[in-house]
Structure 1
Amino acid sequence: MTHRLVGTLAAAGLSLAGIVAAAPSAHAATCYADGCHHKSPTTTGCNGDAITARSKTAPDGTIVELRYSATCRAAWGRVRNSHVGAEAFVENTQGRYDSQFVSTGRDVFTLMVNDRGVQARACYAPNGGSDFTACTGWY
């Protein structure tokens, strides 16, 4: 009985190992550089290797971040710890930009802009518009 149980457990372990080994690899990014313009970092997979390249805290405690993907060569803005109605903004030195408003909760991120061969920055406006109270440095 003990040998049969050990054999059954060993077989189950090998079966599980085969399932784990056959698991698909991480989601590959689906855009690059200017091809990422105005696309979501989450649906394209660009958020998979994202770093916070620059960050700034506004006087009201809101954190604005410039997020960057080396795989996609694209950047986007993210606002954290904010409020409904606040705006996150990202722009690059080519004049491309995107902005998103916090509609629920306290956080929001923008769509992406190209960051290949150019620089980008992210900004925060507490009540929308171009009244930015905090911008990250360029990256």
Structure 2
Amino acid sequence: MSLKKRVFLALLFAVTGVSAVQAQTCEGNFKVTGVPLLTAMTYKTSYDFPKAKPDQILKTLAQAVAAEGFSGIRVDKSLGAIDAYQETTGSGREQTLRIVARKKGSGTRVDAMFNIQQGQVTSEKVVRKGLCDIVMSATD
């Protein structure tokens, strides 16, 4: 292959890679840490809203948290944070949720983190959908 073709392909892959990073989805940003049953588990995702202001989307995010069945919802406008919990096992052991909307450039980055305690289990698929439903409610 000629040098020109190799350079062109390298540039094409570089541009395609940058576009893929910019076009990430909530589901694509989803990550899980911990060892099921042995340690606490943390489920995280994030999404960047290029033109939204944190204080404008905080109320919408809090409403989405309520719609997902969380209790004890607390909104701290000064921090741009929402804290809530669920207790679904009857054991009294809570699972916690934290959503943070913070300024990023001319827009807002929303981070969502759901934690379950050691010994508890849940479906990764269900958590991913729930977190992304909450995060993406900010686009409505």
Normalised by the length of structure 1, the TM-score is 0.30
The structure in which a higher percent of residues are helix is 2
Larger Rg: 1
Q: Relative contact order (alpha carbons < 8 A, sep ≥ 6): 1 or 2 greater?
A: 2
Normalised by the length of structure 2, the TM-score is 0.30
